Amino acid sequence: MATAHTLRLHRAMYMAQAIRDAMRVFEDFAKFSMERDGDHYAVAIADVDADVDGDLVGEFCNFALAHTIERKRRTPK
């Protein structure tokens, strides 16, 4: 039985492009979709590969957050 997850990532903490980058990197392991939901991005994760060893959802969030930080550091103030 496939498990689905829906993440609500706050827009103040995550950039949409960083989430899209994470979706591309992890696309071999699950199906992703994203939509804006008020102050959040709602990210649906479905059909996680049964061979994935570890916490795919946690790793996805860590990747997206790290890339948000990198992008914000590169953006001139």
Q: What residue spans define the domains of the chain?
A: 5-74
Quick one: pLDDT at residue 1? 41
Predicted TM-score (pTM) of the model is: 0.88
Quick one: pLDDT at residue 2? 56
* CA–CA gap between residue 53 and residue 77 (Å, rounded): 40
Would you list the DSSP string of 14-71?
--HHHHHHHHHHTTTTSEEEEEEETTEEEEEEE---TT--S-HHHHHHHHHHHHHHHH
pLDDT along the chain (77 residues), means of 10: 82 97 96 97 94 90 96 79
